[in-house]
Amino acid sequence: MNKSLDFIYRHFVGIEKDDLEYVYRGEVTPHLVMDILDFAKTNLAKANDTRKMRSRIYYIMGEGLQNITMHQADSSDMDSKSTAIVVIYKRGHKYIIATGNLMLRDDEIALKRKLETINHLDADGLKELSRETRTTVGITAKGGASLGLIEMAKRSGNKLDYMIKPIDDKYSYFYLTTEIETSDELDNEETKVGYSISDLVETHDMFNRNSYNLSFKGDFNQDNLLSLLSILKSGMDESPTRIKLYGVMVELLQNIVKHADNIDDNTDWKAGVFYICEHSDRFSLMAGNYICKEHSEAIAARIDRLNGMTYAELTKEYNKTLFNFNNDPISTGLGFIDIRRKTGTKIEYSMIEASPEKDFLMLKVDIIKS
Amino acid sequence: MKPLVKEPTVDTPRVTLDADKGIFELAQMSLPEDAVDFYAPILAWFAEYSKKPNPKTVFDMKLEYFNTASSKQLIQILLLLQGLTDKSQIVINWYYKEIDEDMQGLGEEYSQIINLPFNLIPLPKAVK
């Protein structure tokens, strides 16, 4: 066991059905914006919100993401600090869309003025400002971005929470969060969880420090899996590495979709967490999910056994399992073998007791860049 | 016999099984949530076909990707075809992207475990 993986469980706060936390760090292109919005649409469709509310949330997400593509500064001389960050967060009745992107210090004053103006207006004031901006501003990227900020405030009914963090003489980092309440019911104080600017900054720092590109906490179902795969494809040019990454990701995520248990025996959904990290020489994929304690030993034994096999032995095991036609709809037994063969690296794992009946299983797989 | 045709989706392949036209093809992506369920009608079709196969059967495997759950179903199709060699001349065309060493490797492995002639055909870009 690799106990250094236990941080996955510590970061995995037990979430309720329909909650989610999605974080992406990287280049935000128009194609990626569409993929992220599709991902959001899939999740929104499953929640218990009205169609009107879902449209509103979707629209605000779109504006927030387009803000990045229109607002962000070009910077070929920056490293990870230049990449954008997108967080979609849902807990109970709260949706929070949080973004971060590089900006020019020269634009700071104008941006602050705009945001302060927006935050001081009431609903009628925002409506009027939106109308004025549409009729007087030319079709420029910055003009479009102004309108975007106004629309986010108007439609969320909340202030835009922001921070501008200087990096050097030329650049700052612009963080923005928008909160949308989907219900007039107040959450219990105990369950009322928000996502503040300081949470966003902390997430960004964590992602930069650990080279995370993507994380997802929520319901692991086929739709979410397909959205995450699509986001992977958008974010990377086709290459032998991406093909391998895709294949391993499918097996890791479908492992959760099909095999994971839940902390409370609810079989409606599968709570899990997933990370993609990129290092100079490899990608690391990490996943975590609940399992019944009665399966823990067998899973550990299986992984240990596969980790001890050579490629030839794994191929023999693969063929033996391939021809085993018990047609178990849940498990082919091939997933871990496939991961070992494709990556050529060992499957690292750890388990932590989550309850008297359940453990939390964490897996890590490395894909060496070719 | 009646053809079996399915349009592709993000996680299921394009299926074209038409004995009259001599087309036997699976293409694009195969990562269905329930592979047993998805491939059941395909296996049933091949079982029916095997009662009166064409003199020649060329099976085009143009899958860009298939998950391990699909592989168990695909091997059953190949075994079914392997069983027809006394009634039909069977050829397997296994297409793969040039940059996809995993798909190439699987084609090579399957060609060794299945007793049928395999053509491994590299493609420069996406299989359509």
Length reported for chain B = 128
Mean pLDDT of B112-116: 96
Q: Nearest CB to A250: which of B36, B67, B99?
A: B67
Torsional sign, CA A112, A113, A118, A122: positive
A340 within a domain of the structure (yes/no) = no
Distance CA A296, CA A237 (A): 38
Q: Across residues A320-343, what is the average pLDDT?
A: 81
Residue A252 lies in a domain: no
pLDDT digits (tens, 9 = 90+) for A131-187: 888 887 555 555 566 788 898 898 888 899 999 999 999 999 999 999 888 766 555
Residue A118 in this model has a pLDDT that exceeds 70: yes
Q: Return the ∠ at Cα A323 (arms to B16 and B77), rounded to 5°.
A: 15
pLDDT band at residue A190 under the 50/70/90 scheme: very low
Q: Is B113 on the interface with A (CB under 8 A)?
A: yes
Write out the residues of chain A at the interface with chain B, using a CB-CB cutoff of 8 A.
222, 226, 230, 238-240, 243-244, 246-247, 250-251, 254, 257-258, 315, 319, 322-323, 325, 327, 329, 332, 334-335, 337-338, 342
**One-letter amino acid for residue B65 of the chain:** Y
**How many domains, in total, are found in chain A?**
1
Instruction: Enter the pTM of the model.
Output: 0.89
Whether A362 is in a domain gets the answer: no
What are the b/e assignments for B4-36, b being 16+ CB within 10 Å? beeeeeebbbbbbbebeeeebbbbbbbbbbebb
Which of A211, A71, A74, A226 minimizes the C-alpha distance to A146? A71
For the cut 80, the answer to whether the pLDDT of residue A325 exceeds it is no
CB–CB contacts below 8 A, A to B: 59
A221 to chain B, closest Cα gap in Å: 9
Q: Name the helix (H) or strand (E) containing A174.
A: strand A171-181
Say whether A251 and B67 touch across the interface (CB within 8 A): yes
Would you call B101 an interface residue with chain A, using a CB distance cutoff of 8 Å? yes
- As a whole number, mean pLDDT of residues A225-254 equals 92
Residue B12 binned pLDDT confidence (cut-offs 50, 70, 90): very high
CATH label of the domain that carries residue A173? 3.30.565.10
Instruction: Answer whether B75 sits within 8 Å of A322, measured CB to CB.
Output: yes
pLDDT band at A39 (very low <50, low <70, confident <90, very high): confident
CA–CA dist A260, B99 (Å, integer): 33
Structural domain that includes position A106: 17-190
pLDDT digit string (tens) for A332-344? 579 999 999 999 9
For B66, residues 6+ apart whose C-beta sits below 8 A from its C-beta are B13, B29, B30, B31, B74
Residue A78 has pLDDT above 80, yes or no: no
Is-contact A107 A203, C-beta < 8 A?
Answer: no
Core vs surface per residue A9-44: b (16+ CB within 10 A) or e: beebeebeebbbbbbbbbebeeebbebbbebbeebb
C-alpha span between A266 and A281 (Å, rounded): 40
Q: Chain centroid to CA B17: how far?
A: 10
Q: Is residue A235 part of a domain?
A: no
Tokens describing residue A102: 């590089």
> How high is the pLDDT of residue A188?
53
The mean of the pLDDT values for chain B is 95
Smallest Cβ distance to A251: which of B68, B97, B109? Answer: B68
- pLDDT digit string (tens) for B53-64? 999 999 999 999
Q: For residue A88, what are the CA distances in angstroms to A20, A215, A220?
A: 8, 11, 16
Residues of chain A found within 8 Å of residue B33, distances taken between Cβ atoms: 222, 254, 257-258
Q: Which helix (H) or strand (E) holds A293?
A: helix A293-307
Q: How far apart are CA A61 and CA A95, in angstroms?
A: 10
Burial class (CB in 10 A: 0-12, 13-18, 19+), A364: buried
